[in-house]
Structure formats: C-alpha cells, structure tokens
Amino acid sequence: MSIIVDKDTRLVVQGITGNEGSFHTEQIVEYKTNVVAGVTPGKGGTDLNGIPVYNTVENAVREQNANTSIIFVPPPFAADAILEAASAGIKVIICITEGIPIADMIKVYNSIKKKDIILIGPNCPGVISPGQAKVGIMPAFIHKEGTIGVISRSGTLTYEAVKQLTDVGLGQSTCVGIGGDPIVGSKFIDIIKLFNEDPDTEGIVMIGEIGGSTEEEAAEYIKENVKKPVVTFIAGRTAPPGRRMGHAGAIISGGKGTAGEKMKVMSEAGIHVVESPAEMGNTMLSVLNNN
C-alpha cells in the first residue's frame, strides 16, 4: 500500500546527534519506523536512546543492514552526506537539509542519476506511508492509511492537503515532499510513475508551485500514461515575477514558470486543476465518487 518507504524500511539517520537530527529521530521512532542506526563522524561507538551511532554510513549498512537514509546534516556538508550514502549502497536517500548550494546539487544529482537510487529532496519534509513508516519531519497525526498518493514541492502546504484529505475520509498510500529547490533528486514525473505503478494508489494529489517546468513535464506524462485521477493545485498565482518566494526554486523568470501557464497545461492534460488551495480534499472525493 505504498511507495518508497514501508514496513521493510531499515533507516539510518545521518546527523543523528545534532539538534534537528535527534529531535526528529525521536518522532520517527514514535511512529514505529524501524530506525536501525545513526551516523555522526567522530561519534561512532556511542548511541542515541539505544540506536547505535557509527562514524560512516558504510559501517551502518554493514552492521545493521540499513537500506534507507534520512539526512539532517548542515548545508555545507549535506551534499557529501548524500554521496556517502549512495556509495555505501543505500537505495533510498531522503535529504531534509535546507540551503545546499546549487553547484553542489548539480554534481550530486548527475552522479546519483546514473545509479539505481531514489533521492528525495533536499529542502523537503520527507516521505510518509501512513501506518507503515515515517521518514521525515511531517506531523504524523494528520495522516490516515488509505489509497491517495500525495506529492508536493512544499512542506506545510502538503500538510494542508493531507489534512483536507483525511477530513473528507480519504487516507493516503504515501505522501512525498520532493522539495522546493531548483534541483531536487526526484521530480514530479519520477514519483507520479511510482504512484501509477503502485496497485494500492487510486488517486494522486499533486501540489505544484511557480518556477521551473517540472509540473508541465509531469502533465505530459500523465496525459499519456496515467488513468488514475489526478488533482492539482499550483501555488503562487499572485506572486510577482523575478522574486524568489521563499523556496529557491519558486521564481518566475523571463516570463516562464507562472502559475497560470502551469494550470493551463495541466488542465489540457486532463488533470483536475483546483483554483483554490481549500478545495484539494473535496475535489479528490468528488472525482473518485464520479468515477
């Protein structure tokens, strides 16, 4: 009933002894996610509430069979942390860190792309498969087990969508925050493919925003390949051009990447585009009821 993370997830937390890392590890453990190890260079041999800490991801993989990593390492060192996880054989890498230089991510993205690895983020809330595993920083209690896949470039706006879905009785298979940076490991299209192939996902809520063209690329794929209903909201209709709206990736440049343009392309692809961010949940409900 899910993609990317599930009951088989064996998680290693990179940066586990930092403020963010230790705080969120506690929350992740509370959700009964299988946290098998932590990594902080120089603190190998210690533990955090019984979770063994290693100096390297390689050791965590060898000793604890970790298969998934979540990264809370500070921005100057985060790109290196992603590459370390990749080289240690981790297949799912989820990077929460905000503020990684673009030049670092250009190298990371193009190096990872050639391997059989799923990188989520950076600058994202992570991934949760309700009832199975939480590998992120999202508030767990708004989620509910179910069949809707949620994918988004933002954090709190995803929570808003999830809350709306849960309130109308629609649970989620998996919720994926892909991140708000110009370069992210997985784009909309990559996750839409996974949801499309997941037999237990019946509908997809996709939350886009201004900047770039990943929404349009996903629309083209959806038009050709996806029979499951897709509901979309695009944030930033009122955003002025040339200004970075918080997320490094949310910027209208050279007249491109506007919300209006994205909404048009997505409607033409047969996607249910909602004008208001308050209508994501009930639109999905009525679309499913009419099918």
Partner 1 sequence: MKIHEYQGKEILRKFNVPVPEGKVALNSEDAVKIAKEDIGGNVWVVKAQIHAGGRGKGGGVKVAKSLDEVKQFSDEILGMNLVTHQTGPAGKIVKRLLIEQGMNISRELYVGITLDRTSSKNVVMVSTEGGMEIEKVAAETPEKIVKETIEPELGLLPYQARKLAFSMGLIGQQHKKAVKFLTALYNTYTQSDCSLAEINPLVVTAEGDVVALDAKMNFDDNALFRHKDILEYRDIDEEEPLEVEASKYNLNYIKLDGNVGCMVNGAGLAMATMDIIKLAGGEPANFLDVGGAANKTTVANGFKIILSDPNVKAILINIFGGIVRCDRVAQGVIDAANEMDINIPIVVRLEGTNAKEAKVLLNNSELNFEVAGTLKEAAEKVTAILKK
Which sequence positions are flagged as catalytic? 247
60 makes contact with partner 1 (CB under 8 A): no
Q: List helix spans (H) across 168-236.
A: 188-197, 214-225
Single residue of 246, 260, 268, 270 touching partner 1 by CB under 8 A = 246
Based on the shown chain and the rule CB under 8 A, indicate whether residue 238 belongs to the binding site for partner 1. Answer: yes
Q: Is position 169 an interface residue for partner 1 (rule: CB under 8 A)?
A: no
Please name the helix (run of DSSP H) or strand (run of DSSP E) that holds residue 157, with its range, or none.
helix 156-167
When the beta carbons of 149 and 208 are compared against partner 1, the nearer one is: 208
Region 171-190 residues binding partner 1, contact defined as CB under 8 A: 180, 182-183
Annotate each residue in 128-167 with x if it binds partner 1 (CB under 8 A) or - if it does not, as one string: ---------xxx-xx---------xxxxxxxxx--x----
Whole-Å CA distances, 270 to 35, 227, 231, 261, 265: 40, 10, 10, 15, 9
Residues sharing a CB contact under 8 Å with residue 240, sequence separation 6 or more, in sequence order: 252
Give the Cα separation of 48 and 25 in Å (integer).
Answer: 9
The number of residues that bind partner 1 (CB under 8 A) is: 63
Q: Which residues contact 183 (CB under 8 A, 6 or more apart)?
A: 102, 105, 106, 109
Using rule CB under 8 A, residue 19 touches partner 1: no
Q: What is the DSSP letter of 253?
A: B
Shortest CB 227 distance to partner 1, Å: 26
Select the residue interacting with partner 1 from 250, 252, 263, 284 (CB under 8 A).
250
Structure tokens given for 143: 């989620």
Q: Write down the residue that tokens 């490094």 correspond to.
A: 248
**Binder among 81, 148, 230, 239 for partner 1 (CB under 8 A):** 239
Q: Which amino acid is at 27?
A: Q
Among residues 8, 47, 200, 275, the one that binds partner 1 under rule CB under 8 A? 275
CA distances for 46 relative to 51, 71, 133, 196, 246, angstroms: 9, 19, 25, 42, 38
The reply to whether omega before 139 is within 30° of 0 (cis) is: no
Which listed range, 39-47, 50-58, 99-107, 192-200, lies at the site for partner 1 (CB under 8 A)?
99-107
Specify the 3-state DSSP secondary structure of 272.
Answer: strand
CB of 235 to partner 1, least distance (A): 4
**Residues near partner 1, by CB under 8 A:** 27, 75-76, 99-107, 109-111, 137-139, 141-142, 152-160, 163, 180, 182-183, 207, 209-210, 212-214, 217, 233, 235-240, 242-243, 245-250, 254-255, 259, 275-279
